[in-house]
A and B are shown apart, each in its own frame.
Chain A
Amino acid sequence: MVKLTMIARVTDGLPLAEGLDDGRDVSDADFYKQQVKSLFKNLSRGHNEASRMSVETGPYIFHYIIEGRVCYLTMCDRAYPKKLAFQYLEDLKNEFERTYGNQIETAARPYAFIKFDTFIQKTKKLYQDTRTQRNISKLNDELYEVHQIMTRNVQEVLGVGEKLDEVSQMSSRLTSESRIYADKAKDLNRQALIRKWAPVAIVLGVVFLLFWVKNKLW
């Protein structure tokens, strides 16, 4: 079952269209939407990913295809046939390119093609039930090959950016800490020097004091 459908521009992650009453039966739809958004952001940052990909997240799975700088993404149950999901996205892509293909680059505001949601609704309904004759025949159709599509975990995908962040954080921590280390070393050095010569100085001092006292008394 298709839960969520989103279409976005890859170049800057600008959302172009979205299925309307999506997430009706998903309890934490907002959480997944957020994930989708960060996924788009990742894509727009140029982490070049395969043009077809499945990403697991919790009980659901994202499927997306990237074609002509537009990313079509849907969220389904894990049990939903991968083949159908990609067929669905393929349908969306064909229609979207046909209607708005030439305006994609010039779209300046988010959800510029929100009118597309009526088509999304319609198509979604066709794919809702996996056991309809139409969908079964599609499933049996061997024309569309989905086996080689990679499946990864959402943490992994989103993690790429996180890892980079982590590395830069670590390096900056390293610099600041090495600086602290240098300061501390200098400090220690001084302390060592004091520790080394202090007894000698004290002894000499006492001796001189004695001498002085002696001179004074006498």
Chain B
Amino acid sequence: MGMENPNLPPRPSSAASLFLSSAPVAGSEALVIRSAPQAFSQFPTPPFSSGPVVGSQGSAFRPPPPGSSNELVRPTPSPVSSSYGPPPTGFQRFQNFAMHSTGQAAPPLPTAQPVVPPGPPPTGPPAGPRTLAPVPILSQPQPPSIPMRFPDSTKTEQIHTNVHPSQPFSLFRPNSQPSSTSMGPSFATGWAAYQPSFPGVANGHPNSVPQAPPLHPPSFSSQQGAYAPPAPASPFLSQQRSYGPAPLATSIGYPGIQTHDHGIAPPTGTPQGMAEDFSSLSLGSAPGSFDTGLDAEALPRPLDGHLELKSFAEMYPTNCSSTFLRLTTSGIPNSQSLASRWHLTVGAIVCPLAEAPAGEEVPVVNFATTGIVRCKRCRTYVNPYVTFTDNGRKWKCNMCSLLNDVQGDYFAHLDASGRRVDLDQRPELLKGSIELIAPAEYMVRPPMPPLFYFLIDVSISAAKSGVLEVVAQTIKSSLDSLPGYPRTQIGFITYDSTIHFYNMKSSLMQPQMMVISDLDDVFVPLPDDLLVNLSESRNVVEAFLDSLPSMFQDNMNVESAFGPALKAAFTVMSKVGGKVLIFQSTLPSLGVGRLRLRGDDIRVYGTDKEHLLRVPEDPFYKQMAADFTKFQIAVNVYAFSEKYTDIASLGTLAKYTGGQVYYYPSFQSSIHKCKLKHELTRDLTRETAWEAVMRIRCSKGVRFTSYHGNFMLRSTDLLALPAVDCDKAYAAQLSLDETLLTTQTVYFQVALLYTSSSGERRIRLHTAAAPVVTDLGEMYRLADTAAIVSMFSRLAIEKSLSYKLEDARNAVRIRIVKALREYRNLYAVQHRLSGRMIYPESLKFLPLYGLALCKSTPLRGGYGDVQLDECSAAGFTMMALPVKKLLKLLYPNLVRVDDLLLKSYPQIDESDIIKMRVHLTVKSLDTRGLYIFDDGFRFVIWLGGSISPDIGRKLLGEDFSGDYSKVSLSPRDNDMSIKLQKMLFKFRESDPSYFQLCHLVRQNEQPREATPTSATKCINFSSRSDEKGPTSLTPCLHPLEQNVYA
């Protein structure tokens, strides 16, 4: 504001003569020019579609006054208006705009103005680009393209507002915060005055008339010709009426935001788009019928797998990809009151090491002698959104707007448009995601080598189930591909009622086994050689792995000294750090950290003590996890027991050390071998970042307050992550520090400092910008369901650790209900959809995902529904799951494949399969069909009751009609089976994080006892969403719906 004040003096005079001559237009140009540099200073490269246009406008003015480039960057007040743009051209432009946006209305406009100063001018703005949009299309045969029209409409506002001098100046500032009351009157009148221009529409909806007495019909009669009644009447009206409630109207004062509007929602540009927008807004009974029953069929279901906010990415092309950072809503609320009305949390899901989208490698930058360029005050790293000023000698931090000096060897001149001349060679100023080579100041010690320490339970159950064999084989086969050759270190401990260490000194032929039976005071028998360099001791390690299964083949020991073994591993590793992989087959029963059987007392369920079953019983585990994190050790837990193993306690180790829990209930080597092999191999060989810390910085005024996921908080905002990889994501919730955000854009920067397996210390940076919005509707429009669901699932799982499951589920429901009710309050009245549930386009899948979340393994049911271990394991897994995989888990893919198998496609394409996805409802299941159900963790092959026996026989062999639990889907020697295997392979390939085991289910057949529990659950899962789809959806949506009305 302050900065613009100098502009005030020249204006009244020019405004006075406005209606007679073209002089005022020059004034308005000054405004246009002023807005141009703004865009410039904010975005070094044009960030959204309006950018270039605004920029070119600015440059269009440049030629007449020589040497005005400076003024473009720094707006100077009055002289600009006089020196820029000779009046006639300005006038032409004015006409131009008029032609574009209001058809033939241009000539009458100037004459009409003096009569009603406050009336008509704002009409343009509040009706805004949206309402105006269809008009030219109707009045002119060919619709102008969006980028063309849209600068005009923003200019309309500026020119219009410029027209009447009485208007408070604050209205001009795009980022100023005029209170809604200040614009109320002009706004209401504007809106009212606008009414008569749509007589037909207004009559169609009588209740709108009393609210809108036409103020100055005459002034508008001249324009009426221009506004032909639009064809899609109701959408138009509703849209227009949405500006009725004063506070939420994005209005005159916010051209900037309205431009965003447009950039984001192209559909609003055309009448067809608008019609679509609104028809999808309504959900429920068919129009006309008054019953509030919900047609489950009408509920939108996602088929495209995951949701992307494409338009947002277009808005800020230098933002990092959404796979790295996703905001729950890309519109950041500008005030706390607005944030509190947004019931879906504001936050971000961060997956710092996600695999970059194809073709977009994360560039590596080495500042070498320059040192890393960071802001002095807020320590933000240099990024595409910083601006260079003072001819390149200073740069302005985009987070805290501090002017930093540019170091000598980082200096580069600026060209005429304020860009650095060496911009092309500076990936850190072009890309949202980069990787920096960290100098020595970022190391507390030399980069550690990748270290794997295996802690293997060798008690009787492990030997019997065949775990040892599979584990030993898998480790041996992945020795070659362990990251970090030749520095990789490796070590083993096995334990039953005693702890066995192995000396693997490279000079030995066979490993030496040392048995420690004193569990109370564990000591390490050797100073070195328990942890050896893999490349040197390769032979010994292989010899050990070969002999491991046979060594414990006949072990009859049922005890498991888990805690002491863990401590021993800690002592051995603490000098280096690394990763511990624990293979646990029974409940820890000896020494510290011994656990007891919990959860078989039915009475606990449903009471306030229920959650205690989901948290570790013994503080030892949390303490141990804290120690591990301190010494950069991550823990991955593999659990195999058929009985209770207290995953809730064991998983705590993984939770606080950034690890992962893998659970194979009742492991049988014949069934689960592939799965364990695949997942262990992936765990060992995927690219891992070691001894990492992560911090998310954001602009002044907002702050990340809480973090959710598997990690340990080292200080208030520093996440300690001993090991990170592409399968881990973290959620962070945002809160507003100040009551009012005055900036237009908020920036986020994720910085992950880590050591790569090759021994390089690196910093991975993801920078993103998001607009600040003043309007709740805008937030809804920019919402990202996928991120919201991810956030909710983490919050709900966390809640389930301290409350009942029921409470956790309810919390999710209540949030969704509140959000939808809020939205309804915003828009329902003007939509006249009293009996129906409405929701924004961006959130159309939210109710469905919310429901799926409530029915997901960690949140479902109570006793007898999901086993405690399974619930905990799924909880730990979901806490770390990246957005895409989580969505797939919540709403799995269902594909009908029998047609494909019968037809002779030469090659099955991935895109074909995606196209063939069907809804997860009972109606989409054909009894003659064969379906694959894929949730990213398992496949269910569903065979219809009357499937052709030919298919069955070919796929399953002769025992097709027999007991399915005994049949496995092994490859058979016929084309159909081969094709199915190929297809499954394709599915697996597309999602390599986990291995999906096949479970066979036949329609109307109860799964046998012998079927592994996971399969049973999985069938339950499929049956709840497949067979009982509508019945299970409806009752859940009913209360939802009714609450929304309430």
- Which residues of A pack against B, CB within 8 Å? 12, 14-15, 17-18, 20-21, 24, 108-111, 114-115, 117-118, 121-122, 125
Q: Which residues of A are found within 8 Å of B760, using beta-carbon distances?
A: 109
Known: A110-B439, A110-B761, A111-B443. 17 other contacts (CB 8 A): A14-B440, A15-B440, A17-B446, A108-B366, A108-B368, A109-B438, A110-B440, A110-B443, A111-B759, A115-B487, A115-B759, A118-B487, A118-B533, A118-B536, A121-B533, A122-B536, A125-B528
Q: Are B366 and A114 in contact (CB under 8 A)?
A: no
**Does B449 sit at the interface, judged by CB under 8 A?**
yes
Residue of B nearest to A24 (CB): B575
**Is B486 on the interface with A (CB-CB < 8 A)?**
yes
Nearest CB in chain B: distance from A72 CB, A: 15
Contact B576 A109 (CB under 8 A): no
Structural contact, A109 and B437, CB atoms closer than 8 A: yes
Binary flags per residue of B419-444, CB closer than 8 Å to A gives 1, else 0: 00000000000000000011110010
**How long is the Cα–Cα vector from A115 to B536 in the complex, in angstroms?**
13
Contact sample, A vs B, 21 pairs, CB 8 Å cutoff: A14-B440, A17-B446, A18-B446, A20-B448, A21-B575, A108-B437, A109-B366, A109-B368, A109-B437, A109-B439, A109-B761, A111-B446, A111-B761, A114-B446, A114-B759, A117-B446, A117-B449, A117-B487, A118-B487, A118-B536, A122-B536
Of all chain B residues, which has the CB nearest A121?
B533
- Is B317 part of the binding interface, using a Cβ–Cβ cutoff of 8 Å? no
Q: Are B437 and A20 in contact (CB under 8 A)?
A: no
Contacts of A110 in B (CB 8 A): 438-440, 443, 761
CB of A73, distance to nearest CB on chain B (Å): 14
For residue B447, CB closer than 8 A to chain A, the reply is yes
Q: Is B270 close to A, CB under 8 A?
A: no
Taking the nearest CB of chain B, how far is it from the CB of A178, in angstroms? 33
**Is residue B666 contacting chain A, with contact meaning CB distance below 8 A?**
no
Residues of chain B contacted by A117 (CB below 8 angstroms): 446, 449, 487
Interfacial chain B residues near A20, Cβ < 8 Å: 446, 448-449, 576
Residues of the A chain whose Cβ atoms lie less than 8 Å from the Cβ of B1014: none
Q: Does B38 contact A (CB under 8 A)?
A: no
Cα A20 to Cα B439 with chains together (Å): 19
Q: Which residues of B sit under 8 angstroms from A125, Cβ to Cβ?
A: 528
User: How close is B523's CB to chain A, nearest CB, in angstroms?
Assistant: 16
Report chain A residues within 8 Å CB of B528.
Answer: 125
Q: Give Cα distance in the complex from A114 to B440, angstroms.
A: 13
* A93, chain B: closest CB distance, angstroms: 19
Contact B439 A114 (CB under 8 A): no
Interface magnitude class on chain B: 20 to 34
Complex Cα–Cα for A136 and B74 (A): 78
Q: How far is the CB of A68 from chain B (nearest CB, A)?
A: 21
Of residues A109, A118, A121, which shows the largest number of chain B Cβ atoms within 10 Å of its Cβ? A109
Q: How far is B527's CA from A125's CA once the two chains are assembled, in angstroms?
A: 12
Q: Does B391 contact A (CB under 8 A)?
A: no
Closest to B485 in A: A115
Residue in B closest to A125 when the chains form the complex, CB atoms = B528
Query: Which residues of A lie under 8 Å from residue B368 when comparing CB positions?
Result: 108-109
Interface centre among B369, B445, B761 (most CB of A within 10 A): B445
Q: Please give, as numbers and ranges, the residues of chain A lying within 8 Å of B447 by CB-CB distance.
A: 111, 114
Query: Which residues of B lie under 8 Å from residue A108 when comparing CB positions?
Result: 366, 368, 437
B535 close to A (CB within 8 Å) = yes
Query: How distant is B81 from chain A, measured CB to nearest CB, in Å?
Result: 52
Which residues of chain B are within 8 angstroms of A18 by Cβ–Cβ distance? 445-446
How far is the CB of A29 from the nearest CB of chain B, in Å? 9
A121–B535 CA distance with the chains assembled, in angstroms: 13
**Which of the listed residues B368, B443, B447 has the most CB atoms from chain A within 10 Å of its own CB?**
B447
Asked if A115 meets B446 with Cβ closer than 8 Å, knowing A109-B760, A110-B439, the reply is no
Complex A-B, nearest 7 residue pairs according to Cβ-Cβ distance, in ascending order = A110-B440, A18-B446, A114-B759, A21-B575, A109-B437, A108-B368, A111-B446
Contact B535 A118 (CB under 8 A): yes
**With A and B bound together, what is the CA distance between A114 and B533 in angstroms?**
14
Q: Which residues of B contact A12 (CB under 8 A)?
A: 369
Measured in the bound complex, the distance between the Cα atoms of B487 and A114 in whole Å is 9
- Measured between beta carbons, the chain B residues less than 8 angstroms from A15 are 440, 446
By beta carbon, the residue of chain A nearest B449 is A20
A110 to B437, CA, bound (A): 9
The docked-state distance in angstroms from the alpha carbon of A12 to that of B536 is: 33
Cα A59 to Cα B761 with chains together (Å): 32
Question: Bound complex: CA of A111 vs CA of B440, how far in Å?
Answer: 8
Residue-wise, chain B 518-551 has the 8 Å CB interface mask toward A (1 for contact) of 0000000000100001011000000000000000
Contacts of B443 in A (CB 8 A): 110-111
Interface string of B544-577 (1 = CB under 8 A from A): 0000000000000000000000000000000110
A8 to chain B: closest residue by CB: B440
Complex Cα distance, B440 from A23, in Å, reads 19
User: Contacts A110-B443, A111-B443, A111-B446 hold; do A21 and B486 have CB atoms under 8 A apart?
Assistant: no
Q: Are A118 and B576 closer than 8 Å at their CB atoms?
A: no
Q: How far is the CA of A110 from the CA of B449 in the complex (A)?
A: 15
B486 cross-chain contacts in A, Cβ below 8 A = 115, 118
Q: Kindly state the separation between the CA atoms of A27 and B536 in the bound complex, as whole angstroms.
A: 29
CB distance from A4 to the nearest CB of B (A): 11
Task: Provide the residues of chain A in CB contact with B446, threshold 8 Å.
Answer: 15, 17-18, 20, 111, 114, 117
Residues of B within 8 A of A122 (CB): 536
A20 to B761, CA, bound (A): 15
Q: With both chains docked as a complex, state the minimum distance between the C-beta of B908 and any C-beta of chain A, in angstroms.
A: 45
Give CA–CA (A114, B306) in the complex, Å: 42
Residue of A nearest to B528 (CB): A125
C-alpha gap A122/B507 in the complex (Å):
12
Closest to A116 in B: B487
Q: How far is the CB of B367 from chain A (nearest CB, A)?
A: 9
**Contact present for A21 and B759 (CB under 8 Å):** no
* Cα–Cα distance between A45 and B487 once the two chains are bound (Å): 33
Contact mask for chain B residues 688-722; partner A; CB cutoff 8 A; 1 contact, 0 none = 00000000000000000000000000000000000
Nearest residue, chain B, Cβ from A12: B369
Contacts of A114 in B (CB 8 A): 446-447, 487, 759
The answer for the CA separation of A35 and B869 in the assembled complex, in Å, is: 52
Cα–Cα distance between A117 and B488 once the two chains are bound (Å): 11
Residues 727-763 of chain B: 1 if any A CB is under 8 Å from the residue's CB, otherwise 0? 0000000000000000000000000000000011100
Give the distance in Å from the alpha carbon of A14 to the alpha carbon of B369 in the complex. Answer: 10
Closest A residue by C-beta to B443: A110
